[in-house]
Structure 1
Amino acid sequence: MKFSKQFSLYQSEATQFLNGLKSANPQLEQGQRDGRALLWDKAPIDLDTQRRTAEARVDQQPYVYQNKN
């Protein structure tokens, strides 16, 4: 969305910094993708494993710090 030709060439200081960082370190973006894949992109869980996990779950008591004595 362009407002006018006057602002079409404007880049903020943050954008300039990031563009400079990426041009100085070209493998940075691939490293970010690898890190994301390592931490967030998980393999799908099959239905049998999901069912067994749900069956093995133990209900937590409403107030965990109170003894049942």
Structure 2
Amino acid sequence: MPTIDFTLDRDFIELNQLLKLAGLCDSGGAGKQLVASGVVQVDGALELRKTAKIRAGQRVRVGAVEIRVKAG
């Protein structure tokens, strides 16, 4: 399973923006569509809130790709 380490430079990032900055989609709008499609998990649970606040220590999974969010 591919893993992406994402370093957070603030308190949190919105889920749709994280997906964009991690390279899993082309825009924040595409990130919102990805979340709405029901394929995004945060810490092992399905996440449908497009702008959920993601903080350091959390893990986001889209299909076989996992994003580990770390403090900057």
Normalised by the length of structure 2, the TM-score is: 0.19
Which one has the largest radius of gyration? 1
- The structure showing larger relative contact order (alpha-carbon pairs under 8 Å, at least 6 residues apart) is 2
> Which structure has more helix as a fraction of its residues?
1
Q: Which has the higher strand share?
A: 2
